[in-house]
Amino acid sequence: MQKHSYKHKPKTCSCDICGQSFYHPNLLKTHRLVHTDGKPYLCEICGRRFLQASNLRLHSVKHKGEKSHECKMCKKRFFHADTLKTHCMIHSGIRPHVCEVCNRRFTQAGNLKTHMLVHTKEKPFQCTECGKGFALRHALKSHQTLHTGEKPYKCDVCSKEFRHRQALINHQKLHTGDKPYECDICLKRFSLRGNLQKHIVMHMSEKPYNCTFCSKRYSDTQSLKEHVASHVNNKHYKCGECNKQFPNLEALEEHSSDHKGEIVVGF
């Protein structure tokens, strides 16, 4: 009760580095460890460190390998009851945390807090190699693997390594065959949400992305990117007068009007 009552008091304890405010000095003390990179609580099994003892306790459950909490809707299992509770919001559609700027809704307060950085444009974490700034510490850590070449996430099935945890998760679906995303129109299933979104565009017959070379249209940016590469890498249209090459016939015809050169295709 005493701990809860702090939430009704003003946030008088402010961080002198980033300006974030807290209800209690102890919360500020814990927060400052984020800036100093101090993580005093060590997992004796894997060596991972944590800011708080509670986070270490939650982490330790994963080493036991027991996912005892199961979702009644999709049968997915979790280590922690709180994680299951948050997951169930996906099925219920409940998103209680609302952004006051754009009204976007979130299932977790932490996700809303992360989202707010989009509006504030804060990037307090800076790469010491190239100076690029990031809103989140884990985004900086992921970026730094570009400089080090490190791939810390390894598939336990085929041993393929990845720079990003999410890339590993997506890859592992190839082994499990898990396809949780279903098209409401044709019921085709996909392992990744992005692939489902691309697929839905096909039903809508929308091709919003057009090529600036030939005006051909595509339903997704990746297809457009691959198409544009054919123009950039292969200049099939050559002026018979000066041998200058062009990526499309329209550009060549415009050029040829200068000296009425013969159009040669396929070189």
- Using the structure block, give the residue that is written with the tokens 């948050």: 86
The phi, psi pair for 189, rounded to 5°, reads: -110, 150
In the prediction, which pLDDT does 263 show? 42
Residue 58: inside a domain, yes or no?
yes
Average of pLDDT values for 247-254? 67
Region label for 235, one of left (φ > 0), alpha (ψ between -120 and 50) or beta (otherwise): beta
Taking a C-beta distance cutoff of 8 angstroms, is the pair 22, 31 a contact?
A: yes
The phi, psi pair for 28, rounded to 5°, reads: -65, -40
Residue 250: inside a domain, yes or no?
yes
Give the distance from CA 153 to its chain's centroid.
Answer: 16
Rg of the chain over all Cα atoms, to the nearest angstrom: 27
Instruction: Write out the residue range of the structural domain in which residue 239 sits.
Output: 234-265
What is the full DSSP assignment across 151-213?
--EE-TTT--EESSHHHHHHHHHHHH----EE-TTT--EESSHHHHHHHHHHHHT---EE-TT
Could you report the per-residue pLDDT of 195-210, keeping only the tens digit for each? 888 787 777 766 777 8
Nearest to 198 by CA among 210, 209, 211: 209
Residue 221: inside a domain, yes or no?
no
The Cα angle at residue 102 between residues 90 and 219, in degrees rounded to 5: 70
pLDDT band at 257 (very low <50, low <70, confident <90, very high): low
CA of 74: how far to CAs of 91, 99, 144, 185, in Å? 9, 29, 36, 21
Could you report the per-residue pLDDT of 155-193, keeping only the tens digit for each? 888 888 888 888 888 888 888 888 888 888 788 888 887
Output the average pLDDT for the chain. 76
Number of Cβ within a 10 Å radius of residue 3: 8
Three-state secondary structure call for residue 244? coil
Could you report the per-residue pLDDT of 41-71, keeping only the tens digit for each? 788 777 777 777 878 887 777 777 677 788 8
Residue 55: inside a domain, yes or no?
yes
Residue 252: inside a domain, yes or no?
yes
Residue 214: inside a domain, yes or no?
no
Number of structural domains found in the chain: 2
Look up the pTM and report it. 0.38
In the prediction, which pLDDT does 265 show? 44
Residue 109: inside a domain, yes or no?
no
Tokens of residue 30, six digits: 């814990």
- Using the structure block, give the residue that is written with the tokens 């950085």: 117
194 pLDDT more than 70? yes
Q: Pick from 44, 65, 86: which residue ends a domain?
A: 65
Give the distance from CA 163 to its chain's centroid.
Answer: 13
Could you report the per-residue pLDDT of 132-156, keeping only the tens digit for each? 888 877 788 888 888 888 888 888 8
Q: Pick from 36, 65, 94: which residue ends a domain?
A: 65
Residue 60: inside a domain, yes or no?
yes
Q: For residue 31, what is the domain's CATH number?
A: 3.30.160.60
pLDDT band at 266 (very low <50, low <70, confident <90, very high): very low
